[in-house]
Chain A
Amino acid sequence: MGYRALYRVWRPQQFTDLVGQQLITQTLKNAIAAKQTSHAYLFTGPRGTGKTSAAKIFAKAINCHFQKNGEPCNQCEICRAITEGRLNDVIEIDAASNNSVDEIRDIREKVKYAPTQADYKIYIIDEVHMLSTGAFNALLKTLEEPPANVIFILATTEPYKIPATIISRTQRFDFHRINDQTLIKRMEYILKQEKVTFDPAALEVIAKAAAGGMRDALSMLDQVLSFGNHQATLKDALLVTGSVAQEQLAAYLRAVFSQQAAPAFQQIQQLLADGKDPNQLFEGLIDYCRQLLLQQTVFKDQKGESNQVLISLAKKIPTKVIYQALDILSQEQQAMRFATHQEVYLDVATVKLCQLKSNDRAATTAPAEAEITKLQTEVMTLKKQLDQLVQRSKPEEKPVHEPKKVSVTKQTKIQPNLKAIYTVLGSASRESLDELKDVWQDLMAKLSVTQRAIMNVSQPVAASQTAAVISFQYAFLFEKAVENQQLQTQLVTDLASLLGRQVKLTFLPQEQWPQIRKNYLKEYQHNKAESTKSVTKQAVSAKNSQALAAQKIWGKDAEKLVEFKDD
């Protein structure tokens, strides 16, 4: 005989071994002990909860002459014969393959004969939901009043397929899913009996993946053991069940909730490359969000458990965001079911989750911050205007030398207004940009043909509530746009009608945009480091001398750009 699967070796042989169904086993034991058994039972419940095992134990217990409190002795000849499946009076029928009326007629014939060895003749009809309608009806009369000493036990996973007339003639027992703790306890017991070392965390993972089925749990345990050379480790358990480690889930959620799309995508790629199933990833994420919610509401005040990551994450993320995240996750999971390339839905969910936090932050923590930046920018513009006034009063200076080119391409005569751009960047937000992009096509449609010719290659690259930066693909069109006062006025009024508020526009050629953004970020970080100093000073004394030179020399043009917004 070859190797036998754990679930076959450890099939329960007495009621006490049948874990997780205390109510049922107790009832059956009492019935047997008091000799008040019914003539027909119906065992229903999901896979791996002990229906067939219960039926076999019942057959033993009722026939065993040495039973104690309803438990079979498992020693006597009859008990052993039943365990080995060679007692003629316990008849196990696979209803799925013997589902026709003829087979039921056969049972009806044979029911009449008395048991040969044991006291009771027991028919265990497994997978009874597969009987045909005719077969069910043929069984009705026999089931209602079988001859003495005959007991029927029907077992099925799908009770809704059984006619009501059958159910009403039987005593029905609903087997429940076995909870994780019970599964773990049973696995621990088996592993100890088998003298195998194990990691408790591994059993937890298996129990969760088994979803209440003991057979599932033991199958997976078997697999874990054979993978890990007779050791149950967490790593193998994760591999076998395909579940995702809590730390990885936490890392992913931390990334998306802090809007870092890149690491989140990386995490997902890694998990998929490891052979994880997108569906299981979704399950894992949803479960982790559930744990976060529980942590926030129920276990808030409990003493710190081992899982510090969960607790810190739960403190950081607002409950509302978790609810929204759950909505997104379950929605994508639903949509995913029909697709072949399921990983796309994970990507979509990731992008959505990343966006989610930004909305929320804007709604909750932003006001104060926004106020500050607004004031700062105001100070900056005032200061700038002052500078310009001073400059204007002086006789105009001609630039002595050309400023160094910012980019390597063709030199542009007009430099973009850096101060204005920085102001916009200071209070720029994703939503404003999205909003602007949404109406940009409509805005283009409102322009005249010649104006559109200039603006066609332009697109907004950054925007705040009150101002926006527009980039031009070609430098000469940028110059044209800067020089065209009429176009600018037109754009501002049209935008005002589309968005319902005044938006100042600043132009720049596309080739300079990456450099400017980089400079800005550098300065921004610099600013942050010395946040006590005034922003204006920072902007002026920025170490980027190029930008400074450009501002000084082209102050006049900059002024021009600012001015048009005032009319």
Chain B
Amino acid sequence: MGKKDIIARQPRLTAYFADLIQHKKLVHAYLLTGPAGSGKHELALWVAAGLFCQHPVKGQPCGKCGECQRIFSGNHPDVIDLLPAGNSIKVEQTRFLKSEFNSSGVESRQKIIIIENAEKMTASAANSLLKFIEEPSGQITVFLLVASLNQLLPTIVSRCQLFKMQLPSEEQRIQTYQQEGLNTLLAGLTVDIQTARQLADEKTVLELSKRLTQWFLKILNNEWLALVDVQVKFMPLITNKDEQNLFIQLLELFSKDLLRCAIGTKMVYFQDQALQFKQRLTKYSLTKQLTAVELLLNQPRLQQENINFQNLLEALTLQLIKCYHG
């Protein structure tokens, strides 16, 4: 399961780890970073399989033997997966880990611990892990998987070897998504094609993006109905924090396209109305277009500051109209 896939997606890292496994030079703690769907968990499992596999080929797991199968199906007693319980990883869970750290493996001496979403550790959980991650006893390798490094304690980071997952470039992603018949916009939202399909099925994203472009065209046409759009068109679709984040992401992608338009390259994510935007935007000076882009790019920060989302969008509408039409 996913074995070939991970080698294709992370050729550099799999080759590197295979080499380490072969020469038995795995250190005690690794930190893998990359957005959701970049294959962190698969890589960790792959390394575990490489360690336990009965017939490894140059450090690579065969994927067929009992050990490999148990690991890939998540049934191996010496490969421990730690998931956040609810919203965070709590101290009780790390206490459990600690006992695992201190005991040797069930079937062999080797042990692998995978901590998923490690950034969700509570402060005390992270701190209680510090001493164990620094000098674990016995043959233990810990994999910490995080989406973004900023949210992790620096003291944890300095105890691990840090690896960034390889990601397909924007163009590659857009290409594969187009081949799959998915909207290019989704390529900006996720690197995981599975998630992309899901988003495409849900329709919210595409609907939101359509409404977003309509709203912006109204702003460019100096139609004040754009202000009403926030209440009527956006808010019904944006009901929770996740959808807010999604919309903010759409705004970021949109500003990326606007910037592309301003410097005279093609729009990528919002291709449908690209021509209409181009026609309207060439009227404005580069400075003005840049100011508008910056207004849009200011929104992530404002959202983090817990400003009411509707207020935020309405203020943005007014600011944009003022920016474009004085």
B-binding residues in A (CB < 8 A): 1-5, 8, 46-48, 94, 96-97, 99, 126-127, 130, 157, 213, 215-216, 219-220, 222-223, 226-227, 240, 242, 261, 265, 272-273, 275, 277, 335, 337-341, 343-345, 347-348, 351-352, 355, 430, 433-435, 437-438, 440-442, 459
Contacts and interface: CB of A to CB of B under 8 A. Distances in A.
B58 interface: no
A219 B301 contact: no
Given A215-B159, A219-B158, A459-B282, A96 B256 contact: no
A352 B297 CA distance: 14
B303 interface: yes
A459 B283 contact: yes
Contact of B288 (A157, A219, A226, A437): A437
A333 to B, nearest CB: 12
Given A275-B167, A347-B256, A5 B285 contact: no
A355 B286 CA distance: 9
Contact of B252 (A213, A216, A341, A433): A341
A138 B127 CA distance: 21
A94 B297 contact: no
Given A94-B131, A437-B284, A440-B283, A47 B158 contact: yes
Nearest to B25: A3
B293 interface: yes
Nearest to A350: B263
B194 interface: no
17 contacts: A2-B24, A2-B26, A3-B24, A47-B158, A48-B158, A94-B131, A219-B159, A226-B20, A226-B25, A242-B164, A338-B303, A339-B300, A341-B253, A347-B256, A348-B297, A430-B286, A437-B283
Interface string B306-326: 000000000000000000011
Contacts of A272: 169
B297 A344 contact: yes
Contacts of B301: 335, 337-339
Contacts of B285: 433-435, 437-438
Interface string B177-189: 0000000000010
Given A157-B155, A343-B256, 17 more contacts: A2-B25, A4-B27, A8-B135, A96-B129, A97-B98, A97-B128, A127-B131, A222-B27, A337-B150, A339-B297, A340-B245, A340-B248, A345-B297, A348-B293, A348-B294, A351-B259, A437-B288
B286 A219 contact: no
B156 to A, nearest CB: 9
A227 B16 contact: yes
B256 A97 contact: no
Contacts of B94: 97
B127 to A, nearest CB: 4
B130 A127 contact: yes
Given A344-B256, A347-B256, A430-B286, A213 B158 contact: yes
Contacts of A240: 162
A340 B139 CA distance: 37
B252 to A, nearest CB: 4
A348 B128 CA distance: 41
Contacts of B298: 335
Contacts, number: 147
Interface string B16-54: 100110001111100000000000000000000000000
A437 B262 CA distance: 13
Interface residues of B, number: 63
A5 B262 contact: no
A559 B294 CA distance: 45
A261 B290 CA distance: 14
A3 B26 contact: yes
Contacts of A213: 158
Interface of B: 16, 19-20, 24-28, 91, 94-95, 98, 124, 127-132, 135, 139, 150, 154-155, 157-162, 164, 166-167, 169, 188, 245, 248-249, 252-253, 255-256, 259, 262-263, 282-288, 290, 293-294, 297-298, 300-301, 303-304, 325-326
Nearest to B34: A275
Contacts of A337: 150, 301
A240 B164 CA distance: 9
Contacts of B325: 441
B244 to A, nearest CB: 12
A219 B157 CA distance: 10
Nearest to B91: A97
B9 to A, nearest CB: 13
A140 B155 CA distance: 27
B126 to A, nearest CB: 8
Contacts of A435: 285
Given A219-B158, A341-B256, A434-B285, A96 B27 contact: no
A141 to B, nearest CB: 25
A3 B27 contact: yes
A434 B294 CA distance: 17
A466 to B, nearest CB: 18
Nearest to B288: A438
Contacts of A352: 290
B302 to A, nearest CB: 9
Nearest to B324: A441
B128 A130 contact: yes
A227 B162 CA distance: 12
| A4, A337, A340 interface centre (most CB from chain B within 10 Å) | A340
Contacts of A3: 24-27
A219 B167 CA distance: 24
B24 A96 contact: no
B282 A434 contact: no
Contacts of B27: 3-5, 222
Given A2-B24, A215-B158, A226 B259 contact: no
A216 B300 CA distance: 31
Contacts of A340: 245, 248-249, 252, 300
A4 B150 CA distance: 27
B275 to A, nearest CB: 13
Nearest to A210: B158
Nearest to A341: B252
A86 B319 CA distance: 67
Contacts of A434: 285-288
Contacts of A226: 16, 19-20, 25
Nearest to A276: B164
| B94, B139, B284, B285 interface centre (most CB from chain A within 10 Å) | B285
Contacts of A97: 91, 94-95, 98, 127-128, 131
B326 A442 contact: yes
Contact of B131 (A96, A227, A441): A96
A512 B220 CA distance: 27
A277 B167 CA distance: 12
Nearest to B296: A344
B28 A5 contact: yes
Contacts of B284: 437-438
Contact of A275 (B127, B155, B166, B259): B166
Contacts of B19: 226
A474 to B, nearest CB: 13
A55 B27 CA distance: 25
B77 to A, nearest CB: 20
A353 to B, nearest CB: 12
A130 B98 CA distance: 17
A338 B135 CA distance: 34
Contacts of A344: 252, 255-256, 259, 297
A96 B304 CA distance: 30
A344 to B, nearest CB: 5
Contacts of B169: 272-273
A341 B283 CA distance: 27
A349 to B, nearest CB: 11
B151 to A, nearest CB: 11
Nearest to A352: B290
Contact of A2 (B139, B248, B255): B139
| A339, A347, A434 interface centre (most CB from chain B within 10 Å) | A339
